[in-house]
Amino acid sequence: MYCKQCGKEYQGKEKLCKKCGIALTPGRSPNPKKGVNKWVIIAVVAIAAALVAVFLVIGLRDMVPSALAGVWYDEQGVGPLFEFKPEHVLEYSSPAFNGAGSYEFDASTGEGMLYTDIDSFEAAEFTCDGKTLEWGGLIFTHAYTDQVDLTETIKDMMDELTKTQDD
């Protein structure tokens, strides 16, 4: 006898065709072996990998390296001095000048270059470990201290405390 689907010869005892999987006995539904073409799987995986790569290149290219993220203040904790922005933009301010520039940074070494828009300043090297930034012998941190004169406030508090103890 022969399979009606694929033509393979079989013995009368078999219930399914060994070649195409169709039921050989009357009343049984066909059960052909269906496999996913391996080239389709390879194509889908390749497209997915390409999309992930494009996302990473475009999406992460212009992000600020994590070690530089945030606003950097001088070691006395005064006013914002440096802020690293996406696309290698640097903004800076001090009592003497405000401006913008650019930066390069190698996260693997923690070393970089600062470029300012002030003509009298040369490009300058800096290092950063995510906690401190060193540039031209100056140390910068994320800590900000508002430079407020608390002398009068402390004097008033001490007077009030003394007055309360006297009563």
Q: Tell me if the pTM is above 0.85.
A: no
Is residue 111 very low, low, confident or very high in pLDDT (cuts 50, 70, 90)?
very high
**In the Cβ-directed half-sphere of 114, how many Cα atoms lie within 13 Å?**
24
CA distances from 53 to 46, 73, 90, 108 (A): 11, 36, 27, 21
pLDDT digits (tens, 9 = 90+) for 66-104: 788 888 888 776 665 888 888 888 888 876 778 888 899
Q: What pLDDT does 147 receive? A: 47
Vertex 43 angle, CA 42 and 44, to 5°: 95
CB-based burial label for 136 (10 Å; 0-12, 13-18, 19+): exposed
Question: What proportion of the chain, given as a percentage, has pLDDT over 90?
Answer: 8
Rounded Cα–Cα distance for residues 101 and 114 (Å) = 7
